[in-house]
Chains A and B, each alone.
Chain A
Amino acid sequence: MRTYGLQEAKIGSFRIGVVADEEPREGLTHVRELLEHLGYPYDILQGGNQDIVQSRYALLVIFESGLHKLGENPSSIIFACAKKRTNLLWVGPGLGRISQEILAKVFGLRFVSEASADSYRVAYASSSSTDAKIFDEVVVDVELSGARAEGFFLDTASKRLFPSETSFRHDAEGTAYFFAYDVSGWWNVDLDSPWSRPARLVWAIGLTLSDVPTVTLRPYPRNLASAFICRIEDVDPLHTGSEWLSRAHRYLQEHIARNVPLSVALIPVHVDPGCGLEIPLESDSAEPVREWLRTVIEGRGAIIQHGYTHQHGTQRTGVGAEFIANGTWTSYDDQTRRISTGKVKIEHALNTKVLAFEAPHYKLNEDTLRAVEKSGFRCLLDDSNSPFYGFRLSDAEAQAFLAAIPETLGYIPLGSSASLGNKLKKTVDQLFTFHGILLLYNHLYDDAAFTIGLRTMEYALGKGNVWTPNINQMGRFALERATAYKGFSVTYGSEIAVTMGSCSERGLTLSVNSQEKISRVQVNGKEWSVFSANYVILPELSRPSNTVLICFKEQPSPLPLSELWGLGLLAVASCTAFRFAKRTFGVG
């Protein structure tokens, strides 16, 4: 990927604009989470055609749903933006609404038609790095008119049909990228390659911005590339069988040996109404599992509250969702009571703070979220079909109160074969390319689950530069980072000035894509370490608004003295010291 010198950049700001309708849409949510996770400053554009042109966004991500924001003639606005050297990224259908002339000039394409994938017999979108399965969705048929095809649609027999994504360098020296399918939707649906779509989208954003000096807030501390979390699932007070406990102890030791903590999803009470059984975590019979949990905590691990009983009505623990039965949600009061009682039980039995919550079968509604917030949780384990951090905002202050951490690697079913391990490795590879979260969950039901879980962890760590927090550490970092990101803006001239909100976590990292090397950094007016030529690791940011100044010109620091100087100094010091020492020790 190219980098761009600041001397070629005029004074301006770096932001991404998203042209999309704001009504809840999965695709837009995904794009927002992607931009927030990768730390790009962005705006969802509100109307006002001239504003969009004048704002000179570094990149405009355009969805058909947002075209009405570009006025009656979106073609001319897009053309004006392109002339101002704004890079463009078109996602999915709607290209037919742009005039053919502008399409050719800006995207290097000619629109042919737009219809459901079935009608074209499209099965996959294939690019150099990955194949994305195409579902029941609308795709666009285009012809190249100067653009470069970055991928093609394939039919079920792998026959090439027409371009699925293209890039074009237009006359104003900007890049226009086009996806002929909705790359922001259908994430985590293709079981063979669940994250190929976000991978392609991240790659395309990187390509379109490669000519712009960019500053992003890295998703993990200390410039780490990815984060691996292993969650042990559905542990309850009845997990006292010697086979499971022995496996769990061995699994824990293997993780501790590699400095990887476990995060355990714990159900505080096991019930089986059919047998009249109710075993709370504090019961004597649960001591073996309590002992294991205490070892988990001592090994830097954390406990996630996984409901209260993980069942409803006459079901036994683990069988059903807890807060919904037969389509009816439990009341807010009941949910609050169950969640807070469970939290107290765990904290009392294990003498630890529980800050993470996972709803049984991920079934939760707004009442659950309110109850979770009221009970003081900071982290929510979720299945959001996204490989990025998500946040739940408090209504009152529009501030993130819960960090949602998605499961991305899935789980290891009973009796899994080695092929699952290979599939998991491929998914790790995919997630690693775009800094996605690596979260694997494991019930440890059998030895295959033990082996596959261990190998996947080792494979992820083998990638290098991987953060291994427990769930509380990740949740706390994500929330603090979100506060810093809230006020994130970047302006550049000969220096780059970054404004950010507060952050009590150290290690936030600003990544700088520039041809020039960072030579000096100031944080709130005070000199700060230069860790690398292209990133800055930050200290705690205590002010509500903090400024980081990144300079590229060589500071007038003393150059290292030459070898001659060094040898001269050595000789003078030796002679003087030796004469003095000889006199002191009476050497003739």
Chain B
Amino acid sequence: MRKEFPKNLVLCSTLAFFLSYFEYYYVALDGVPYREMYHFTVLNIPPYVLFPLAPALAIVAFSPLIDDLLLHRADWSQRNRMIVLGCANLLFAVTLYDGLYYAFRSMFPLPTDPLAGFWIRRGEASALGAVNLLGVLWPTWYFVTIPVVISVYVAYYIS
């Protein structure tokens, strides 16, 4: 697990970066990113995030666990740890994926994007809304996922 964890983290980050890049620059209608063109009914989350994007990230995040389950390698206490690490990796990947989308838009925008240069705006946050911190809007769910991810990683590191 010690070796697998950093590898898995890098893999999750790479996939999140790739998916975010792909969504912002290529999932566009006549140059306007799809995410900006549609209102989403389920929790204000684009349907392609719910499927297949989130499951794809989950598969990568839980891949060490899946690997162990298939090879019957680990005991139950070890598996619990892997499940928690897998969850943390998934939350990290989803947060990174979402944050990178707005980072691309604000820093390296598509020339055809009407919201070029904008970080997240109020109406774009998911159902949980947004928090105004230091004059910048942040989706509220980042305030849950980021501390969870950091806590799990720290606990894992000092264990």
Binding site for B on A (CB under 8 A): 221-223, 505-507, 526-532, 537, 539, 557-563, 565-567, 569-570, 573-574, 577-578, 580-582, 584-587
- In contact, A558 and B129 (Cβ under 8 angstroms): yes
Contact partner of B129 (CB less than 8 A), chosen from A526, A560, A573, A577, is: A560
Interface centre among A528, A559, A560 (most CB of B within 10 A): A560
- In contact, B156 and A585 (Cβ under 8 angstroms): yes
20 contacts between A and B (CB under 8 A): A223-B114, A506-B29, A531-B114, A557-B122, A557-B123, A559-B122, A561-B129, A561-B132, A566-B143, A567-B133, A569-B140, A570-B143, A573-B147, A573-B148, A577-B147, A581-B84, A581-B152, A584-B80, A585-B81, A585-B84
A531-B115, A557-B123, A586-B159 as given contacts; A574 in contact with B150, CB under 8 Å: yes
A531-B36, A532-B114, A570-B147 as given contacts; A560 in contact with B137, CB under 8 Å: yes
A403 to B29, CA, bound (A): 23
Contact partner of B32 (CB less than 8 A), chosen from A537, A561, A570, is: A537
- In contact, B130 and A529 (Cβ under 8 angstroms): no
Contact residues in A for B143 (Cβ distance below 8 Å):
566, 569-570, 573
Contact residues in B for A559 (Cβ distance below 8 Å):
122
A531 to B32, CA, bound (A): 11
A157 to B122, CA, bound (A): 60
Contact residues in B for A558 (Cβ distance below 8 Å):
129
- In contact, A507 and B30 (Cβ under 8 angstroms): yes
Return B42 CB to nearest CB of chain A, in Å. Answer: 14
State whether the Cβ of B39 lies closer than 8 Å to any Cβ in chain A.
yes
A537-B32, A560-B131, A586-B159 as given contacts; A529 in contact with B154, CB under 8 Å: no
A529 to B34, CA, bound (A): 11
Contact residues in B for A581 (Cβ distance below 8 Å):
84, 151-152, 154-156
- In contact, B132 and A528 (Cβ under 8 angstroms): no
State whether the Cβ of B37 lies closer than 8 Å to any Cβ in chain A.
yes
Contact residues in B for A562 (Cβ distance below 8 Å):
131-132
A450 to B134, CA, bound (A): 52
Residue of B nearest to A473 (CB): B30
Contact residues in A for B36 (Cβ distance below 8 Å):
529, 531
Residue of A nearest to B80 (CB): A584
State whether the Cβ of B70 lies closer than 8 Å to any Cβ in chain A.
no
Residue of B nearest to A461 (CB): B111
- In contact, A565 and B131 (Cβ under 8 angstroms): yes
Contact residues in B for A560 (Cβ distance below 8 Å):
122, 129-132, 137
State whether the Cβ of B97 lies closer than 8 Å to any Cβ in chain A.
no
Residue of B nearest to A530 (CB): B123
Return B75 CB to nearest CB of chain A, in Å. Answer: 13
Chain B: residues with Cβ within 8 Å of the partner, total of 38
Contact residues in B for A532 (Cβ distance below 8 Å):
114
Contact residues in B for A530 (Cβ distance below 8 Å):
123
- In contact, A574 and B132 (Cβ under 8 angstroms): no
Residue of B nearest to A505 (CB): B30
A577 to B148, CA, bound (A): 5
A569 to B144, CA, bound (A): 7
Residue of A nearest to B88 (CB): A581
State whether the Cβ of B112 lies closer than 8 Å to any Cβ in chain A.
yes
Contact residues in A for B131 (Cβ distance below 8 Å):
560-563, 565-566, 569
Return A522 CB to nearest CB of chain B, in Å. Answer: 10
Q: Which residues of chain B (10-38) have a CB below 8 Å from chain A?
A: 29-32, 36-38
Contact partner of A578 (CB less than 8 A), chosen from B39, B114, B154, is: B154
State whether the Cβ of B101 lies closer than 8 Å to any Cβ in chain A.
no
Contact residues in B for A506 (Cβ distance below 8 Å):
29-30, 32, 37
- In contact, A578 and B38 (Cβ under 8 angstroms): no
20 extra A-B contacts, CB within 8 A, seeds A222-B32, A526-B39, A570-B147: A222-B31, A506-B30, A507-B31, A530-B123, A560-B131, A560-B132, A561-B130, A561-B132, A562-B132, A563-B133, A566-B131, A566-B132, A566-B140, A570-B146, A578-B147, A578-B154, A581-B84, A581-B151, A581-B154, A584-B155
State whether the Cβ of B158 lies closer than 8 Å to any Cβ in chain A.
yes
A527 to B40, CA, bound (A): 10
A407 to B135, CA, bound (A): 49
Q: Which residues of chain B (74-118) have a CB below 8 Å from chain A?
A: 80-81, 84, 112, 114-115
Residue of B nearest to A578 (CB): B151
Return B113 CB to nearest CB of chain A, in Å. Answer: 9
- In contact, B155 and A587 (Cβ under 8 angstroms): yes
Contact residues in B for A507 (Cβ distance below 8 Å):
30-32
A582 to B155, CA, bound (A): 5
Contact residues in B for A573 (Cβ distance below 8 Å):
143-144, 147-148
Contact partner of A584 (CB less than 8 A), chosen from B81, B132, B134, B137, is: B81
A587 to B159, CA, bound (A): 5
Contact residues in A for B62 (Cβ distance below 8 Å):
none
Return A510 CB to nearest CB of chain B, in Å. Answer: 13
A507 to B36, CA, bound (A): 12
A527 to B44, CA, bound (A): 12
A557-B123, A581-B154, A586-B159 as given contacts; A566 in contact with B133, CB under 8 Å: yes
Contact residues in B for A578 (Cβ distance below 8 Å):
147, 151, 154-155
Return A564 CB to nearest CB of chain B, in Å. Answer: 10
